[in-house]
Structure 1
């Protein structure tokens, strides 16, 4: 067979080349394409549009009409000025009382500020989710690498056992045990490969990537374990975006409450009218009108009660958000300290001890001083220690990202 078709088929069977991505690149893609951040930007645009509506004054009303059109006599002969028709042209205005326009604008501005802060808070939350997904992918990459190395080592050990069995150097039971371990290693490698694909898919969805998820690869190193959970000197929890947004919603609810109360100040309708009636008074006559709604003192009671309830709910939500923020800080600080301690314990004690035990057991097995069972147990213990060390790295990276997200404060004009 020609070598060119074989080369072409071999290229088709190669896996996709992974695209190494730094955490900074992932954050840039997140801010540009993350669906939740895009939705928050759209909500901000809508709130800005509400401000224009709130600032608009009631428009003037133009009215035109004709009356006294007789079915028997008609409208009369001659030009329009000689017709027997009473024609009117009116212009009306609404005089808003009680500062309604100012209160509408105040509430809309507060809601717009809350939407802007919600966007900043959404960015903060999504950056934390990105760190969690990014380092989850890195952990999956390392787990797959360990699984593939274990699979390759198991295959080599099984091949060597086949040769030794043929020469009678080992018993069939030892070869069978190695075959079982090889099948377990193969299953673990398949599971690790699926977990890697899941992690790649999760990261791709988070950053809005359109390329195949299989091409994503986390390239940044693990965070250092010596970071302490200490608050910055100028840190004020009330300046966090979510708490500022809660305060802005209280302001907006207060404006809505005052707007509902202002309904008690009745708006006045003012009008001026121009009338021409040829059969009564020659020429054009003028008139004016004033109208006031005759509403009782309890007419707006329902709106006021609803606005009062919304205000109380906003205040309660603000208090709850503050309590939750303080609890989250305490919890995240403890988790970061615990994760750092656990990581150092694995890196400095457990993992090196497991590696030394495995090296010693392999040497003893080669010299005939240890059984195959002892060797397999040592290998299993080392793999478990390595997997737990990777898990400790992931837990520390996530705990650090959560702490940094909770103490992050928005820039004054940031969006």
Structure 2
């Protein structure tokens, strides 16, 4: 008995290993997975590089240590004695350091710090863009699974209709032409099943790419659980005063807008740094000389000043001004695109809500009622087969259309939440 129990348990364990449980992700898991995407990691490496630029910018010019041998008399010779202490060679060790004026160090450091802030915001924008792509792939996967379920049930109903038609044909109660029509309609539904399964395979591959996993559930089992999005107050219309204020706050909080503004700040500091180049930086130096026969303790002090004759850094200033103007134009474009996107998201969410509600509360119930009445009338001989097939096709079409409408609405609402209140989805 114990041996039999061990065999059963071993077989069960082997079966479990051979058939691993497919992974069914949630919306939150999909959104969190984008943090490991290649695009996000590239953006974060750009931020790391910008942080390194701050270290590069925030230091003074390094001192320069120099040594020399001079006063080497080739005509009269160097004299007797050792090379270090007695030969007539002027040996010197010097130190030179450039003194920066015009707050150059502070300006370039501030520019680098603003660039860090810009790249950090750009990394956040990269995360959000990947979330928008990921949520679309997630809802496409859910919709594809539900469509397969729907089409499979329709295909089964079509096969039942074909079997019933063939039975009636053998009994002489149905013509060969009507039987062929029913078979053709069932074959069309079976073809739709193949198309739905192909769409599901594509959706699984797309979601697997987002999650970097190969065990995404494909075959639907039971009811498909769609995520419940947070219930938030409906946003005010952008045309109202309150709507404009809320839209402006949402736009100002966007990562791409903040990045564009930080780029402007960095360009301004760079421009100030270009003008600061007009203040020359002297190089101050000191040397200690050892010259046997003259003196073994000589001190040299020196100052070097660059002469900017005929050039006042016009190129650097023009380049910095051009970069600032480009940053300002970029901010203008980003703001324009942000306003347009926000208005589009509001409009899509409102329009798709109305469309989905119309399908769920009116169109689909009426199509189902018409199909049910057509089935009843056809069985009583009060309706032609063509009208029955037409009623069935209308019901199938509306059932698929409501699925598309529900998917589009979920995408639109999630995208709007990601743009206006992402903390409600990812905490």
The TM-score with structure 1 as length reference comes to 0.87
Query: Where does residue 241 of structure 1 map in the other structure?
Result: 255
250-259 vs 184-193, greater mean Cα deviation:
184-193
Say whether 1:363 aligns with 2:379: no
Q: Is 1:193 aligned with 2:193?
A: no
Note closer, same or farther for the CA distance 1:119–1:410 as it changes in structure 2 (3 Å cut).
Answer: farther
Q: Which moved more, 1:309-318 or 1:106-115?
A: 309-318
CA-CA distance at 1:234 after TM superposition: 9.8
Q: Which moved more, 1:322-331 or 1:63-72?
A: 63-72
RMSD: 3.1
Query: In structure 2, do the counterparts of structure 1 residues 390 and 76 end up closer, same or farther at CA, with 3 Å as the change threshold?
Result: farther
Task: Tell me by how many angstroms 1:45 deviates.
Answer: 1.1
Count how many residue pairs are aligned between Structure 1 and Structure 2.
Answer: 402
Task: Please list the CA deviations of residues 110-162 of structure 1 after superposition, one character each: whole Å capped at 9, or x if unmatched.
Answer: 11111111122222332222222211211111111112112222222223333
CA change 1:152–1:215 in 2 (3 A) is closer
Preserved contact between residue 50 and residue 112 of structure 2 (Cα < 8 Å):
yes
1:69 positional shift: 4.6
- SS in structure 1 of the partner of residue 373 of structure 2: helix
Over 3 Å counting, the alpha-carbon distance change for 1:356 and 1:406 in structure 2 is same
- 1:45 is aligned to 48
Which of the residues 111, 120, 123 maps onto 2:124? Answer: 120
Question: CA contact under 8 A between 1:222 and 1:397: conserved in structure 2?
Answer: no
Aligned residues of 1:22 and 1:219 also touching (Cα < 8 A): no
- 1:229 is matched with 235
Q: Which segment drifts farther, 235-244 or 109-118?
A: 235-244
- Counterpart contact for 2:27–2:227, Cα < 8 Å: no
- Unmatched tracts of structure 2, length 5 or more: 1-10, 237-242
Change (3 A) 1:213 1:21: closer
1:262 to 238, 262, 276: 276
1:13-412 alignment to 2 at 5 Å? 18-31=22-35, 33-69=36-72, 73=77, 77-78=81-82, 80-207=84-211, 209-213=212-216, 219-221=225-227, 223=229, 228-230=234-236, 236=249, 237-279=251-293, 281-296=294-309, 298-408=311-421
* TM-score normalised per structure 2: 0.85
Find the aligned partners of 1:329 and 1:304 in 2 and give their Cα distance: 37
Q: In the aligned structure 2, how far is the partner of 1:216 from the partner of 1:98?
A: 69
Query: In 2, Cα distance between the equivalents of 1:267 and 1:216?
Result: 72
Change (3 A) 1:216 1:80: farther
Contact 2:284 2:302 in 1 (8 A): yes
Please name the residue that 2:4 is paired with: none
SS of 1:93 mapped into structure 2: strand
Distance in 2 of aligned mates of 1:260 and 1:250: 15
Is residue 110–residue 249 contact of structure 1 (8 Å, CA) maintained in 2?
A: yes
After TM superposition, the structure 1 stretch with the greater mean CA deviation from structure 2, 159-168 or 359-368, is 159-168
Change (3 A) 1:204 1:103: same
In the alignment, the residues of structure 1 paired with residue 46 and residue 344 of structure 2 have an alpha-carbon distance, to the nearest angstrom, of 31
Q: Distance in 2 between matches of 1:301 and 1:59?
A: 26
Change (3 A) 1:154 1:197: same
User: Which is worse superposed, 229-238 or 338-347?
Assistant: 229-238
SS for the counterpart of 2:85 is helix
